[in-house]
């Protein structure tokens, strides 16, 4: 009845898979655990070998990336519901039981997101990523349900297999970020309802500030790809906080000055963020002016 789908790239899945296996033994429904190794490399093989007793492990010959690897699970999953989980998260007690209860109570549900919580606050430069996750990515179901498609996340969601055969992740996106943004948008375009549940996974591994900013820049370039795919749909733009802010910047009477000084502002924000100023306001300014420097005048036409 339930296929648990875990894409893994250069992280150790042992603790996570073992926790899922223990919980699965207590369920009244059939469960399979699928782990797809996205060409992590030979040094990771012992970690994958250790979970073969609990899961079906597939080693992919080439790196597919975040969108394509999720689509690849269609070829391996045998049950009618697919539960997608990120490969580097903590599994709370009773996690699978709560998903099972939800399935039995809502057999008509087509897509449902379970949410996230953050583990303990780390020390040092990893605090910026923790603060961002704890503030922006860990909303309760009641808040997420206000904008259900906009709140779709890939790290912990349940989907009917027949729906996933119909709407897949867009494989044109090969970089980091916003594959979930586009997937939520396309679910909405197809009239597929997204529900939300308070059954979070636990985020435990946080990037350093420098690594987080690298991924932030990559995600902005991915967002530009998404904009092209949705043909600069105005409704889509209004759903994305960064794009709304950029439109306001373009209309600002100070835009001419900000356009000239934006690169300097972005570099100064980056310096502060990497050197211990863990401010989400600074992060937002950095993202805005990085976008402006690389996509100047994007919406003027």
Average pLDDT of 37-42? 95
Rounded Cα distance, 58 and 52, in Å: 10
Class of domain 2-206 (CATH, top level): alpha beta
Residue identified by tokens 């296996």 is: 21
What are the φ/ψ torsions at residue 6 (nearest 5 degrees)? -125, 105
Q: Binning pLDDT at 50, 70 and 90, where does residue 128 land? A: very high
Average the pLDDT over 185-196 and give the result.
97
Residue-level pLDDT at 221? 92
3-state secondary structure of 236: helix
The predicted structure's pLDDT at residue 295 = 66
Which residues sit opposite 180 in a β-bridge? none
Q: Is the pLDDT of residue 297 over 60?
A: no
Looking at residue 263, what is its pLDDT?
81
Beta bridge pairs of residue 58: 36
Residue length, the chain? 301
Cα angle: 178, vertex 183, 184; to 5 degrees: 100
219: its two tokens: 């995600």
Rounded to an integer, what distance in angstroms lies between the CA atom of residue 133 and that of residue 116? 9
Judge contact between 159 and 2, C-beta under 8 A.
Answer: no
Other C-beta atoms within 10 Å of 234: how many?
Answer: 10
For 176, the 3-state DSSP assignment is coil
Condensed to tens digits (0 to 9), the pLDDT of residues 161-177 reads: 999 999 999 998 888 88
* Residue tagged 């300097």 (tokens): 264
Q: Is pLDDT above 50 for 180?
A: yes
User: Do residues 299 and 237 make contact, with C-beta atoms less than 8 angstroms apart?
Assistant: yes
Stated pTM of the model: 0.92
In terms of C-beta density within 10 A (0-12 exposed, 13-18 middle, 19 or more buried), how is residue 268 classed?
A: middle
Output the pLDDT for position 300. 38
Mean pLDDT on 258-282: 89
Give the chain's mean pLDDT: 93
Place 220 in a pLDDT band, splitting at 50, 70 and 90: very high
pLDDT at position 174 is 82
Contact 69, 60 (CB under 8 A): yes
Q: Which of 193, 188, 192, 194 is nearest to 233 (CA)?
A: 188
Give me Rg for the CA atoms of the chain: 20
Q: In the chain, where are the structural domains located?
A: 2-206, 210-294
Q: How confident is the model at residue 69 (pLDDT cuts 50, 70, 90)?
A: very high
The pLDDT value recorded for residue 175 is: 81
Dist. CA 111–CA 288, nearest whole Å:
32
């Amino acid at each position: 009845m339930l296929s648990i789908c875990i894409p893994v790239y250069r992280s150790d899945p042992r603790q996570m898979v073992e926790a899922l296996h223990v919980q699965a033994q207590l369920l009244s429904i059939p469960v399979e655990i699928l782990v797809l190794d996205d060409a992590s490399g030979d040094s990771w093989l012992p970690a994958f070998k250790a979970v073969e007793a609990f899961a079906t492990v597939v080693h992919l010959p080439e790196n597919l990336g975040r969108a394509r690897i999720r689509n690849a699970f269609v070829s391996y999953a045998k049950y009618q519901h697919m539960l997608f989980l990120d490969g580097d998260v903590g599994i709370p007690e009773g996690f699978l039981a709560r998903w099972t209860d939800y399935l039995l109570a809502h057999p008509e549900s087509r897509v449902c997101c379970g949410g996230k919580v953050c583990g303990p606050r780390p020390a040092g430069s990893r605090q910026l990523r923790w603060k961002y996750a704890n503030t922006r990515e860990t909303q309760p179901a009641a808040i997420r349900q206000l904008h259900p498609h906009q709140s779709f996340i890939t790290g912990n969601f349940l989907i009917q297999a027949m729906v996933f055969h119909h709407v897949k992740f867009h494989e044109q996106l090969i970089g980091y970020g916003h594959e979930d943004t586009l997937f939520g948008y396309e679910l909405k375009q197809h009239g597929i309802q997204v529900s939300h549940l308070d059954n979070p996974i636990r985020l435990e591994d946080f990037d350093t500030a420098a690594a987080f900013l690298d991924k932030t820049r990559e995600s902005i370039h991915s967002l530009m790809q998404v904009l092209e795919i949705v043909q600069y749909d105005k409704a889509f733009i209004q759903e994305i906080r960064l794009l709304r802010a950029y439109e306001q910047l373009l209309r600002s009477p100070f835009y001419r000055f900000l356009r000239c000084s934006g690169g300097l502002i972005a570099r100064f924000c980056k310096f502060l963020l990497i050197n211990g100023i863990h401010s989400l306001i600074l992060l937002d300014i950095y993202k805005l002016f990085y976008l402006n420097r690389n996509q100047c005048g994007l919406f003027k036409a």
